[in-house]
Amino acid sequence: MPEAPSDVKSSASPDEAESFRLPPRGLGPMLAAIGPGIVVTGSVIGSGELINTPVQAARFGFVLLWAVIISCVIKCFLQIEIGRHALVHNRTPFESFNALPGWKWRGTSWIGPVFVLGSVLTAASLAGILRATGGLLHSFVPLASTEGLSVDLWTIVVSFGTAALLWQGTYVSIEKVITALVGVFSLSVVVGLGLIQGTEYRISSEQVLSGLTFSFGEHDIKLAAIAVVSLMGALGATGNELFMYPYWILEKGYGQHVGSPEDEGWVKRTWGWIRVLQVDVFVCTALATVTTLGYFLIGAAVFYGTDQQIGGDEIVDRLSGMYTNTYGAWSKNVFLVGALCTLLSTLIVGTAAFARMWRDMFVSLGWLSVGDHRASRACIRGVQMVYLTAFLAITIFAGNSPEQLVIFGQYVSGLFGTPMLMIVICWLAFRTDKRVRMGGFTAVLLVFSVLVLVACVVGAILIQFIGKT
């Protein structure tokens, strides 16, 4: 059965599935069947890992390493459970949320629209990504004698280029592009982390251990608390990525592969595809964690304690100092190529995912017919164009500090999006079909991860209001 295109009736109920596909056996075939997690990785790496992480490392050094690790790893179980629910019931996020108790409008639970509207603020991070990409390309090929004008021109080029790549809009095309980009930037940072150990900036075990003390060190605790909330919202599967993961699960075809719940082999087949999904999430988490730690550790080793200011249109060019300060000028282009892949992957996936979110809401509210594939495709394209146009306007008229846009968007996500969604995921997880629901041990891990995230976010917020500088 071919992969489902982006405008298929992803909301079809399991008993409408026309066929099923047996799950792969063995690690190799399972790895060949994954994909949604790679797309999620491509979405989160650019803004959080490439920009926010080194900026915070430069400000606070190794002391926030614990927050980086927690942010990357702890949301793994949330991602698995929202993916499991989508796979088992073949439901989009809005269809799942509409089963929750509480106030509804036109049959749509208030939770979905509130999250979507709140996510508009978090999209500021993608505007920062667009500006940073323009600044990066300016460092390669200036399009004008004036730096600001050159960056503006490059952001226009990148915006139109992204629109062209997304015009086809199918999951298959997005997955292929993002897999290639993820491979390049993951390899570049791993190589960089290994090479730095042969330089004067080598990372010692004492430095690493100093970042595992769950403290803010000697830094301004209010500023450090803001950084923690921003990292919680930026790293790993953020609130937006958790919300969007089911779309990639359904468009990959997992929900249709399991067939009908009335089939005799449905339970066994569904467990097989759940294992594929778990591998998908573990690979996603591992890639995001390794890449994030690489950028954080290199950034802390090279930038912390120096007078270098990291920000402005040339933020990515300045971040290349993580390599050039250690390996020499020859390494700059190597870093910038990896950085370009990182930024583009986030911009492409983030824009495509926001479009699917809005399309899902319009369908739920009855403003768009589920079976109207042409209207669905037009909706996705239209929302993508609106977002890219808004990003372009923000980057040109709102100044030249992409890192501030990125950190602001991710702070809102950490403060609002992730906490709200993880409560919803827990509700859904305990209402997934009992035959294929998570086991007791997984349930404990899920609840524990939620408690840890809540403790970190609430603690950081309280520090901002009552903590001493």
In a domain, 9, yes or no: no
Cα three-residue angle 90-40-169, rounded to 5 degrees:
70
β-bridge mates for residue 104, sequence order: 109
In a domain, 2, yes or no: no
In a domain, 3, yes or no: no
pLDDT at 17 (0 to 100): 41
pLDDT at 373 (0 to 100): 87
Place of tokens 């920000």: 311
In a domain, 7, yes or no: no
CA–CA dist 40, 341 (Å, integer) = 14
In a domain, 158, yes or no: yes
Point out the residues of the chain with pLDDT beneath 70: 1-19, 46-49, 169, 234, 307-316, 318, 321-323, 325-330, 398-400, 464, 467-469
Which among 365, 362, 456 has a CA at the least distance from the CA of 73? 456
Tell me which residue range forms the domain holding 58: 14-466
CA–CA dist 164, 147 (Å, integer) = 26
Please write down the HEC assignment for all residues of 80-130: HHHHHHHHHHCCCHHHHHCCCCCCEECCEECHHHHHHHHHHHHCHHHHHHH
Instruction: Determine the residue type at 418.
Output: T
pLDDT at 200 (0 to 100): 81
In a domain, 8, yes or no: no
**Number of structural domains in the chain:** 1
CA–CA dist 152, 142 (Å, integer) = 11
pTM for the full model?
0.86
In a domain, 202, yes or no: yes
In a domain, 184, yes or no: yes
pLDDT at 87 (0 to 100): 95
Measured in residues, the chain has a length of 469
Please write down the HEC assignment for all residues of 126-181: HHHHHHHHHHHHHHHCCCCCCHHHHHHHHHHHHHHHHHHHHHCCCHHHHHHHHHHH
Q: Give every CB contact of residue 138 below 8 A, 6+ residues apart in sequence.
A: 147, 150, 151, 154, 313, 314
Q: What is the CATH number of the domain that holds 298?
A: 1.20.1740.10
Instruction: Determine the residue type at 313.
Output: D
pLDDT at 313 (0 to 100): 57
